[in-house]
Amino acid sequence: MSPDFPSAHPEDPHFISRSGWLRAAVLGANDGIVSISSLIVGVAAANADRTSILIAGLAGLVAGAMSMASGEYVSVSSQADIEKADIQREAEALKENHKEEFDELVAIYELRGLKSETAELVAHELTEDDALRAHIRDELGLSEHHSANPLQAAFASAFTFSMAGALPLLAAFLAPTSAIITAVLITTFIALITLGALGAKFGGAPIIPAAVRVLIWGSIAMAITAGAGWLFGVTIA
């Protein structure tokens, strides 16, 4: 919705354009690691046999990936619908009440610290260029970096869920039956730390705080979920 502007520091780029797919990718990967690990550990803790553990893990991987894809698509589509509706309303308002909309834009710039004369000049020049784009950006707070992309979010989430969730499943497959829980837990902790670090790296954020945050919350979620296996002692025939 806005033109591509040259960067003042191309050697140190901004990462805000990655926020949409990166959020979905990290969410999918984290959910894949935690849910599949929790499922495997919970089933294994209920003294299920090796085949049942692996089947449960594989079923959870497939179902989880599809659930993440559909969930992301539906939720982000809803966001996109809201954005389109707001843009349409803004376009109609500009046609019917151009003066009121112009004054609203001036007021926005004044609230951001511009003097009245400067705010009016800026609003005039921007609305001359593309009034709707100016209102979309400054009144609605939307830009091409933040606009919803349902397919991108769905694919990123499902793909990273599958790739990340496959790690604890692979650990369970390779480990001897007596060591499945230990192998899965170790793999999960390493995967969570790696996920936090990679997410921070791609987002240009500090790596250590992100890795610790993902590890702590992922471990808490996994412990609560896996605890159901011990608590109820469910077995799978």
Q: How would DSSP label each residue in 31-45?
A: HHHHHHHHHHHHHHH
State pTM to two decimals. 0.68
Mean pLDDT of 20-47: 82
| 159 pLDDT more than 50 | yes
Pick 218 or 228 by higher pLDDT: 218
How far is Cα 89 from Cα 67, in angstroms, rounded to an integer? Answer: 33
Q: What span, in angstroms and rounded, lies between the C-alpha atoms of 21 and 222? A: 24
Its sign, for the CA torsion 44, 226, 230, 233, is negative
In whole angstroms, give the CA distance from residue 198 to residue 154: 20
More confident residue, 232 or 67: 67
Predicted confidence at residue 151, as pLDDT, reads 84
CA dihedral in degrees (15, 18, 20, 23; nearest 10)?
-80
3-state secondary structure of 4: coil
pLDDT band at 144 (very low <50, low <70, confident <90, very high): low
Which of 188, 171, 172 lies closest to 30 in space, CA to CA? 188
In the chain, the percentage of residues whose pLDDT exceeds 90 is 20
Is the pLDDT at 16 greater than 80? The verdict is no
pLDDT at 20: 54
List Cβ neighbours of 40 (8 Å cut-off, separation of 6 or more): 53, 56, 57, 168, 169, 172, 180, 184
**Residues contacting 99, CB < 8 A, separation 6+:** none
**Neighbour count for residue 76 (Cβ, 10 Å):** 21
What confidence tier does 86 reach under pLDDT thresholds 50, 70, 90? confident
* Residue 190, both tokens: 């390493």
Confidence of residue 143 (pLDDT cuts 50, 70, 90): low
Question: Tell me, what's the pLDDT at 226?
Answer: 66
Amino acid 58: pLDDT: 94
What percent of the chain is modeled with pLDDT above 70?
A: 82
pLDDT at 124 > cutoff 90: no
- pLDDT higher than threshold 60 for residue 74: yes
pLDDT confidence of 3, banded at 50, 70, 90? very low
The residue-averaged pLDDT of 196-211 equals 80
What integer pLDDT is reported at residue 27 of this predicted model? 81
